[in-house]
Amino acid sequence: MQETLNYINENKQRFVDELFELLRIPSISADPAYKDDVLKCADVVAEYLKNAGADKVEVCQTKGYPIVFGEKMLNENLPTVLVYGHYDVQPADPLELWKKPPFEPYIEKTELHPEGAIFARGSADDKGQFFMHLKAFEAMMKTNTLPCNVKFILEGEEEVGSVSLGDFVNENKEKLSCDCILISDTHIYSNEQPTVTTGLRGLSYVEVEVEGPNRDLHSGLYGGAVPNPIHVLSRMIANLIDEDGHITIDGFYDNVETVSDSDRAEMNKLKDNPEEFKKSIGLNGVEGEKGYTTLERTSIRPTLDCNGIWGGYTGEGAKTVIPSKAFAKISMRLVPYQTPEEITEKFTKYFEKIAPENVKVKVTPHHGGMPYVLPTDTKEFLAAKQAMEAAFGKEVLPYRGGGSIPITAMFEQVLGAKSVLMGFGLDSDAIHSPNEHYGLFNFYKGIESIPLFFENYSK
């Protein structure tokens, strides 16, 4: 293993230079204007995979953007690790808030990253993180230390819901057969307190519509005599959560996992600093479900948030109307053992129930996903924990993330394998926001940890 670590150390600058090439490609899957760039990025990723030593590298066509596949099968009796990542990125808007152009990567030192951070769209989510796996694999191949079989599946549609991935996995079960799945698309708690993500919340996402009069009305002629859909919708949304932060939907908590006191105590070993938390997002205070810490509210408890609301006139100047309709988008983060189907149905029934009789309401379900948990007594978790402890030289704790990666539940259902969420970013990396960045320290620690995971898991 020391030979592998020596190789990594000797090639650090080249690894960054090659990552920069990948970051310069604006592979924005949400915008058709960037289609050629997404396709180019898939080809570049495939070339890096070949150069690292993978066999049977393919750019597999789907109904959407291609999936890059490659493998190195040493012996069918050895365990097989499937590495997942995505090469597509979020749109860079608003461009005016970036210090420098989002697809011209550069390194700058920050308070959290005194060794420097790579600034560019996709640096942390997920090009910088999946590229760690390619370079770790290269290091093991060049030093002849790869201890098990490895397969790679790198998609180009994660940022638009992985629309083609499910079909691809179902149609290629044998090709993708494995013993565990390794994913670096999450973050650690901090560089001082590294963590392995052991859980993710699920998701139910809906759009709601409230309809009042059959057309926009003059607010002078009709104001005070008819329901205003914006007012009605605002009251309805406000009534979805009570003063204790409790979601009021009938039966919403019926299937919520009860986390043991011992697990809650273990979780709260993480150094939760309320003042630092508030400062990092510019708030004077926090709120949430009564009886739970901030860490628990953002991980083991379900939530409901209005993500956007609109209706009526929002252009320049004034237009005095009572709008015919008002709309909102609402997301609910779910925990084991809630399902998106169950929660979407309960939300719909409750929203219809609390609507006044003088308006019509409509709920349109969008996408959803199942929650996921990796038990801390599994060989997958222990292999990751020990690998990161060796690389960081610190105790590594389990950590449940608040976000959602629906593919983890799908992988387990179709391939019968657990996913190890061994991410190395920080929650301050501004993913999906202007000035996204990824610390050099984190990038290198990831490349060092991955061969150790392979070694531990093989044992």
Q: Is residue 266 part of a domain?
A: no
Cα–Cα distances in angstroms (integers) from residue 108 to residues 111, 114, 115, in the given order: 10, 9, 8
Give the DSSP H/E element, type plus range, for residue 59: strand 55-60
Determine the Cα–Cα distance for residues 309 and 307; give it in Å rounded to an integer: 7
Q: Is residue 285 part of a domain?
A: no
Q: Do 227 and 173 fall within a single domain?
A: no
Q: Do 437 and 343 fall within a single domain?
A: no
Q: Is residue 268 part of a domain?
A: no
CATH of the domain at 121: 3.40.630.10
How many domains does the chain fold into?
2
Q: Is residue 88 part of a domain?
A: yes
Angle at 64 between CA 61 and CA 69, to 5 degrees: 40
Q: Do 363 and 432 fall within a single domain?
A: no
Question: What is the residue-wise DSSP string for 3-22?
Answer: HHHHHHHHTHHHHHHHHHHH
Q: Is residue 434 part of a domain?
A: yes
pLDDT at position 133, please?
A: 98
pLDDT at position 267, please?
A: 83
Determine the Cα–Cα distance for residues 50 and 69; give it in Å rounded to an integer: 10
pLDDT at position 405, please?
A: 87
Angle at 337 between CA 157 and CA 333, to 5 degrees: 50
Q: List beta partners, residue 331.
A: 205, 305
Q: Pick from 346, 369, 392: which residue ends a domain?
A: 369
Q: Do 8 and 147 fall within a single domain?
A: yes
pLDDT at position 125, please?
A: 96
pLDDT at position 269, please?
A: 85
- 256, burial (CB in 10 Å: exposed 0-12, middle 13-18, buried 19+): middle
Confidence (pTM): 0.88
pLDDT at position 397, please?
A: 92
Q: Do 12 and 74 fall within a single domain?
A: yes
Q: Which pLDDT tens digits describe the chain residue by residue (459 residues)?
A: 899 999 999 999 999 999 999 999 999 999 999 999 999 999 999 999 999 999 999 999 999 999 999 999 999 999 999 999 999 999 999 999 999 999 999 999 999 999 999 999 999 999 999 999 999 999 999 999 999 999 999 999 999 989 999 999 999 999 999 999 999 999 999 999 999 999 999 999 999 999 999 999 999 999 999 999 999 999 999 999 999 999 999 999 999 999 889 888 888 888 777 787 888 788 898 899 999 999 999 999 999 999 999 999 999 999 999 999 999 999 999 999 999 999 999 999 999 999 999 999 999 999 888 999 999 999 999 999 999 999 999 999 999 988 888 899 999 999 999 999 999 999 899 999 999 999 999 999 999 999 999 999 999
Single-letter residue type at 66: P
Q: Is residue 263 part of a domain?
A: no
Q: Do 70 and 141 fall within a single domain?
A: yes
Q: Do 89 and 208 fall within a single domain?
A: no
Angle at 350 between CA 231 and CA 323, to 5 degrees: 25
- 278, burial (CB in 10 Å: exposed 0-12, middle 13-18, buried 19+): middle
Cis peptide before 31 (omega within 30 of 0): no
Q: Pick from 369, 396, 411: which residue ends a domain?
A: 369
Q: Do 399 and 362 fall within a single domain?
A: no
CATH of the domain at 324: 3.30.70.360
Determine the Cα–Cα distance for residues 158 and 116; give it in Å rounded to an integer: 27
Q: Pick from 320, 343, 369: which residue ends a domain?
A: 369
Q: Do 209 and 108 fall within a single domain?
A: no
Q: Is residue 276 part of a domain?
A: no
The residues, ordered by sequence, that sit 6+ positions from 403 with a Cβ below 8 Å of its Cβ are 186, 200, 201
Determine the Cα–Cα distance for residues 297 and 247; give it in Å rounded to an integer: 13
Q: Do 177 and 45 fall within a single domain?
A: yes
Question: What is the residue-wise DSSP string for 201-225?
Answer: -EEEEEEEEEE-SSS-EEHHHHTTT
- 379, burial (CB in 10 Å: exposed 0-12, middle 13-18, buried 19+): middle
Backbone φ, ψ for residue 12 (5° rounding): -55, -50
Q: List beta partners, residue 196.
A: 398
Q: Do 77 and 93 fall within a single domain?
A: yes
Residue 122 gets the label, from left (phi > 0), alpha (psi -120 to 50) or beta, of left
- 328, burial (CB in 10 Å: exposed 0-12, middle 13-18, buried 19+): buried
pLDDT at position 229, please?
A: 98
Q: Domain span at residue 307?
A: 202-256+302-369
Around Cβ 402, how many Cβ atoms within 10 Å? 16
Q: Is residue 103 part of a domain?
A: yes
Q: Do 411 and 309 fall within a single domain?
A: no
